Amino acid sequence: HENDNEKMIEILNEALKKIKTKRQNLGLKHLLAAYKEKVGKIEEAIELYKEVAENGNKLYIVQEAKEKLENINRI
């Protein structure tokens, strides 16, 4: 389903309901933000990236999320 952005958003939202660990949750939110960005849901993507950046501690996706936020804000 990787080429179907809307379907991936749906799958990730369902997965988020089932995930219990913070690390997995943030990983899925990071992915979800990327798909929402692809379909033009920029505000939703920004909120997800912010959450990942603020709560991810030392996870590699924190830096990636911060970079995405900077790039979105430049547009």
pLDDT at 1: 63
pLDDT at 75: 62
pTM (2 d.p.): 0.82
pLDDT at 72: 87
pLDDT at 60: 81
pLDDT at 20: 86
**Rounded CA gap, 12 and 67, in Å?**
22
Listed as ranges, residues in the chain with pLDDT below 50 are none
**Rounded CA gap, 30 and 13, in Å?**
12
